[in-house]
Amino acid sequence: MGTQNTNSFSDEIICPYCFKKAKVEKRTKISKCSSFDSYAKKYVCTVCNHTINRDYVEKNYTQLKKIGFVGYEGQGKSIFIKNLVEFLLNMTKTDSSEYNELSFSPMDEETLKLFYSDMSLVGNGRADRFSKFVFKLNYSSGIKEAVVCLYDTQGENFRDRIDIVKSAPYCGFCDVIYLVISIDDSGPIWHKIIKGLLDNYLTAANQIGEGVLQNQNLKVVLTKGDLIFNNDFVELPEILIDWINNKNSGNSQLGMISKEIEKFLINHECGAFCNLANRQFKSVNYYLLSNLNQKPISQENQKKVFELFCSSF
């Protein structure tokens, strides 16, 4: 048998699970045994009652990055997260000097399962729920003891503004939003679909939290770029084709590629989309990825996923 003691933690924190500013209770369970007493301590959010990692509560992390994914079903949100996880797992096993400072540590049970046993956790589950993954990350001089929170939900929730508010409340909490769109899957009216997605998101985000957009950084991610080669309704410029074919890849190229993608979008009836995004968000950047669903996925393409992820810091 055991007894449980409860103490309130003095400071309020932003809970990474319910997004409320709340006090945290420190609960200590004392188990009585014949020869010794054992103590188990955990922190619990007083609003949602979710257990919060002890480090998240006790340490003052200067880098807390909350990243939310927005996009319709089948566009590439969940596969992006899966490739990021696979890259982290694979690169921390190598002796490459480029990644000799790369390390990560899951901070809750669901994230632990994602990394080591059940990739199907991403993007699945009930339509009225969202997936949440919290982990610590260290990488080179730019990312030291960072806490990363990734949030994803089923794509059909983004077709209705009410569903976004109910099923993707992270929209009003994150400081980085990845708006994910596949031109190939969207078809000839893709320029209307991407604008509609942004409109839905903006309306819902404003309803969730007033003034959140001015503090959010937007990453517009065009996925399955290599599949555009085979359709007859849009043509990529040569510089973006070279990017897809890894002829001009690398961190140093991200700014140039972002400007080229924005130019490409404006030239394909997406000027209203770009103008609206620039007015609403703290910053806007554009990115282009290959089809991440293909097997086997190349390490170069997974590296691009990681580079995009690192640009969020």
How many domains are there within the chain?
2
pLDDT tens, position by position, 142-167:
787 889 999 998 888 888 888 888 88
Region of poorest pLDDT, from 7-11, 162-166, 220-224, 305-309: 7-11
9 shares its domain with 146: no
157 shares its domain with 30: no
Instruction: Say how far apart CA 143 and CA 264 lie, in whole Å.
Output: 32
Instruction: Say how far apart CA 217 and CA 229 lie, in whole Å.
Output: 30
202 shares its domain with 277: yes
46 shares its domain with 143: no
Query: What's residue 33's pLDDT?
Result: 57
Side chain identity at 18, as an amino acid letter?
Answer: C
Residue 108, token pair as written in the block: 């809750």
Please state the rounded mean pLDDT for residues 250-260: 87
Domain residues for the domain of 236 are 64-310
Residue 263 maps to which CATH number? Answer: 3.40.50.300
pLDDT tens, position by position, 9-44:
557 888 888 888 889 998 876 655 545 444 567 899
More confident residue, 97 or 187: 187
Query: What's residue 290's pLDDT?
Result: 92
54 shares its domain with 68: no
- What letter would DSSP give residue 172? G
Which residues 6+ apart lie within 8 Å of 21 measured at CB? 12, 13, 14, 15
pLDDT tens, position by position, 53-63:
988 888 867 67
Percentage of the chain surpassing pLDDT 90?
43
